[in-house]
Amino acid sequence: HHVKGRQRSASIVTVEPVGGDSLEEVLDQNAYKNINSEWVNYKGAWVIHPVLIIIGKIMVDVIPGMHQDASWTIVNLSYLLISYIMFHWVTGIPFDPDSHGGAYDDLTLWEQIDEGAQYTPSKKWLICTPIALFLISTHYTHYNPWLFAINFTALLVVLFPKLPQLHRQRIRFLYRPGYTSGAATPAT
Amino acid sequence: MALPLSSSGSGGLFKLSKKSSQRTLTPSSAAEYLASLKAADDDALAREQARSHSPTPARDVVHASAVNYAPSIASTPALSFASTAPSSLSSPTTYAATLEEDDDPLVYPDNPPTSNDPPPSALHSEFGYCNNEEYRYTSSYRDGTSLFPQHQDPPMTILLATYISYLFLIAIGHMRDFFGKRFWPGYYKHLMSAAGYAALNSDFDSFYTRRLKLRIEDCFARPVTGVPGRTILMYNRVSPDFNVSFKLTGQLTRALNVSSYNYLGFAQATGGVADAAEESIRRYGLSALGPRLEAGTQDLHTAAEALVARFLGVEDAAVISMGFATNSTTLPALVSRGCLVLSDEYNHASIRTGVRLSGASVRLFKHNDMASLEQILRESISQGQPRTHRPWKKILVVVEGLYSMEGTFVDLPALMTLKKRYKFYLYVDEAHSIGAIGPHGRGVCDYFGIDPTEVDILMGTFTKSFGAAGGYIAGKKVLIDKLRTINHAFAYAEAVSPPVLTQLTAAMASIMGVAPPLLTPVGAINTQSTALIPYSHPGPAPAAILPSWMHLPPALLSGVEGNTRLRRLAFNSRYLSQGLRKLGFIIYGHRDSPIVPLLIYNPGKMPVFSRLMLAANTYPGAVPFVVVIVAYPATPLITSRVRFCMSASHTKADVDRLLRACDRVGDLLDLKHGCPKHERWTVDEVIDRAVELVHMD
């Protein structure tokens, strides 16, 4: 894996491509359907997002003294946080290391969906849901500038890695080439 | 001294819990045996007196002395009451009714043979006795039945509940990992790096195994003893630390076995085939002592290969000692880099391992979807190899005859049409369908009525239908001769051992029937060569192929018993899958398939299903069932299932019991989302109209 840009340690931000198209990786990936990421296309996998949001909203509203704008902000931020961790932080497949031989170890769930194809229906839904939730939350926060800024920033942070240009790219801060964490598979 | 049959009739109605089919491990010394025999006698006497005193509902108590209660051996002393006939040890024709086993449906048949019937040739606990000719069916493809997998969908609430269940399990699992590593590091030493060394196991890779599968570990890998026939004897175990470790309690439970691949019921310790295997050990020993290409080939191997070739109706066959290895060594020998392998979505791990080892390009097509296959074919043929766009050296389509997780047959007629049009090579893996499907048991080609020589490579295993082990490759003689030299298993792996070879030879000969030996014609050049022995497919095996010392009993030799087994299996499979559908469950697969997956969806319901079936308290008079539950990641995320494997050794009464138990558990767990309520039948209706169900469309 080579790092784009200057390779001196003075670089604050570098972009590193991960994954690969080597023959072994392609063969390992093609041997099985990736059931870790296939479920986003199954029946009910889209509906579960609004259902979980509604359940979360109800649970947050139960807290006494909760205002609607705080409640919607909390729900918005929690959904973005959980979906970020699930789709863009954790890499690899948490079972069956023999079947795929580590071919997906560097890929997040987003990059595994639909075998890396872009602009697929599931990806479009997963982009629209946080946007819709953000719009609802801005309505209920009455466009308060502070809350708007928080929600908007969070939305951008979550939407940024979903861009097709960032497919299999990692943004690293103060990256030192040659330093590895030592773990072959990602940390929990 | 003959014991009168119990006069208390079927006490089954009043027996609330499972039978006292709990026995301990065999005693280790003569003194212990005699002591336990005395204890057994006292028990039997006490029970006889108790029975004559009061007809109270008997709770099956484990007596204080039961800890030492041992099954007696066949030749018990004459004055003993406890002349039990433990199924694994007595001679097959003694159905000595005993006080504890006379109404145990697992050991004693519901409709025992009368004095007019021929004596049964097998132990009821290994191969069920069923004399009713109505419960037979011939398995063959009915023109017009759709082979495209039709999956019903449950209501949306069930699917949403399934997603939420997995979310809970994963969240709780992560929390436990997080806090556990900080507060109880002793238990997580193997998952954390220490003293400069990396962790022994990756906690991420093993997350599902540790946090999901471990919770229900008592439903998997149960220790058993004896043959996995119609019933199986399990060692009971308990876990003091939530399934991390298990302790054997010392008691055994006999359960009805709907989880083993035993399609024709050849998993028997008694019977003609088992006797032949025993005889082969006396003659040949236990091992072939070498790879095939290096002094490991014996006359048994040549005979078995000739028999397999005739069984399938092809020119030649090769036999390999391990079924998995058959695929994983043959595929690299057939294809290499520059070839294209089109493999079904749900193919077995052995096929995928073979394809990955070969280095060929692979593409998956949707399960049993010939339109998807055709689209991929057209795309691949027109595009050629990646990057260079040169034409492919070979295109090999790999399918399975019967898929073990789905219960679907390959759409072979449509596949043959595609083959004629696009001219690819076809490899059919008949691991589950050989011996179990088709009017003569010859596999999917027999089932669909297709000439087996049209399929380029036929592969199969002997584990499922023949009670043996290993696999075979069959096809044209040119291909098999070449494969014998380049297949790794022939060059490096040990050859099939003689008892296993004899088991598969005898079982296969029983299914085919053996033709009486012909007089050798005058002027025959080489009567040793099996290739010159005439054979017409499908037909009986020529006697000259079989070893001369193999003496099978007449029922097996004539092929009558083999034919009965095939028809019993077809009836049982069809009955169970139709019956479960009529009860309202969602069942995948085709109606003729001996594998019947019942969909459960929710991961939490799986262990409950398994434990309820084993505990045998689903309905009065229930027997314990041992079933296989499968979930993510062996199946797609939402479709967890329980998979029943039917066998010729089951009787209709066994399937009735299974239907009753499933009906009750299905009501308890809300599993009936198949056909709507007004179309469902009650379980009594299903049982009464069984024969009509089987012949229904």
Q: Dump pLDDT digits (tens) for A160-185.
A: 999 999 999 988 887 666 655 554 44
Asked if the structure places residue A96 within a domain, the reply is yes
- Rounded to whole angstroms, the Cα distance separating B351 from B330 reads 9
Query: Quick one: pLDDT at residue B55?
Result: 44
A67 touches chain B (CB under 8 A): no
Asked if the structure places residue B619 within a domain, the reply is no
pTM of the model: 0.84
SS3 assignment for B348-405:
CHHHHHHHHHHCCEEEEECCCCHHHHHHHHHHHHHHCCCCCCCCCCCEEEEEECECCC
HSE-up of B372 (CA within 13 Å, CB side)? 13
Query: Quick one: pLDDT at residue B94?
Result: 30
Query: Quick one: pLDDT at residue B589?
Result: 92
* Most confident listed range (A84-93, A94-103, B193-202, B567-576): B567-576
- Rounded to whole angstroms, the Cα distance separating B414 from B343 reads 16
For chain B (length 697 residues), average pLDDT per consecutive 10? 40 39 57 79 76 46 35 40 39 34 80 86 91 93 87 92 94 94 92 90 90 94 94 94 94 94 94 94 94 93 95 96 96 96 94 94 94 96 93 97 94 96 96 95 95 96 95 96 95 95 96 80 53 79 90 91 95 96 95 95 95 90 93 88 96 96 95 94 96 92
Query: Quick one: pLDDT at residue B614?
Result: 94
Tokens of B370: 């010939």
In this complex, do B204 and A23 lie within 8 Å of one another by their Cβ atoms? no
Asked if the structure places residue A159 within a domain, the reply is yes
In this complex, do B193 and A182 lie within 8 Å of one another by their Cβ atoms? yes
Asked if the structure places residue B95 within a domain, the reply is yes
Asked if the structure places residue A8 within a domain, the reply is no
CB-nearest to B204 from A52, A92, A182 is A92
Asked if the structure places residue B324 within a domain, the reply is yes
Count of domains in chain B?
Answer: 2
CB-nearest to A48 from B163, B359, B632 is B163
Residues linked to residue B643 through DSSP beta bridges, in sequence order: B597, B628
Query: Quick one: pLDDT at residue B534?
Result: 76
Asked if the structure places residue B304 within a domain, the reply is yes
Nearest-neighbour CA in chain A from B201: distance (Å): 10
Where in the sequence is the domain holding A107, given as residue range(s)? 18-31+38-173
User: Using a CB-CB distance cutoff of 8 angstroms, which residues of chain B are in contact with residue A58?
Assistant: none
Query: Quick one: pLDDT at residue B25?
Result: 55
Query: Quick one: pLDDT at residue B12?
Result: 36
- Rounded to whole angstroms, the Cα distance separating A169 from A161 reads 9
Asked if the structure places residue A9 within a domain, the reply is no
Nearest-neighbour CA in chain A from B645: distance (Å): 25
Asked if the structure places residue A144 within a domain, the reply is yes
* Residue that finishes a domain, picked among B523, B539, B565: B523
Pairing of strands B340-344, B247-257: unpaired
Query: Quick one: pLDDT at residue B522?
Result: 55
* Residue that finishes a domain, picked among B458, B490, B523: B523
Q: Dump pLDDT digits (tens) for A108-122.
A: 999 999 988 999 999
Query: Quick one: pLDDT at residue B44?
Result: 77
- Tell me the mean pLDDT in the region A126-149: 93
Tokens of A26: 């392609």
* Residue that finishes a domain, picked among B459, B488, B523: B523
In this complex, do A94 and B160 lie within 8 Å of one another by their Cβ atoms? no
List the CATH number of the domain containing B367: 3.40.640.10
Query: Quick one: pLDDT at residue B526?
Result: 43
Query: Quick one: pLDDT at residue B43?
Result: 80
Where in the sequence is the domain holding B455, given as residue range(s)? 288-523
DSSP string, B80-136: -S-----TTTS-TT-----TTTTT-TTTS-SS---TTSPPPSS-TTTS-----TTS-
B205 touches chain A (CB under 8 A): yes
ipTM for this prediction: 0.88
How many inter-chain contacts (A to B, CB under 8 Å) are there?
86
* pLDDT band at residue A131 using 50, 70 and 90 as cut-offs: very high
Asked if the structure places residue A185 within a domain, the reply is no
Count of domains in chain A?
Answer: 1
In this complex, do B636 and A97 lie within 8 Å of one another by their Cβ atoms? no
User: Using a CB-CB distance cutoff of 8 angstroms, which residues of chain B are in contact with residue A183?
Assistant: 198-199, 202
Query: Quick one: pLDDT at residue B518?
Result: 66
Query: Quick one: pLDDT at residue A33?
Result: 87
> Do B367 and B361 contact (CB within 8 A), yes or no?
no
In this complex, do A39 and B637 lie within 8 Å of one another by their Cβ atoms? yes
